[in-house]
Structure 1
Amino acid sequence: MSASIEFYVNEFKSRIMNYMVSSVPRTLETVYEQIKEELIQQDDGHQELKYLEQAYVFVHKEIVGKQLVLKD
């Protein structure tokens, strides 16, 4: 796993843990969409989106136990 993918894996886990104790919990998909929107607003976010998607698939499999297939 590359450092960039690992960064997003850690970002997912961190946000999920923070939302678990908040009054408004968020789903993994919601966290994914939130980070994705942040990257889209950046000029150089295209490559980062690929890393984010790979991290999302990894974290989803880790939590749910099944491989997620993203639709383009």
Structure 2
Amino acid sequence: MDIQTTKLKFSKTILEDENSEFLQRVADFVQKEKNDFWSELTLTEQKEIKRGIEELDEGKRISYESFLKKIS
């Protein structure tokens, strides 16, 4: 079954179902799956990632080999 057929069948099931508990579970599942990993990171982790991106944008880079030597 292709993805479009699956979507249509799923949509039909949702539209025809009157079980509010089932619909809430589906809604909760969809929301959980849509959560962006960014919001699950700590502020410290977010700041470190932003700092790393800024450094890359400024041209501050090292080769992978240099990095490996540095941490070994």
Which TM-score applies when normalising by structure 2? 0.32
- Relative CO higher for 1 or 2, CA cutoff 8 Å, sep ≥ 6? 1
Which TM-score applies when normalising by structure 1? 0.32
Bigger helix fraction: 2
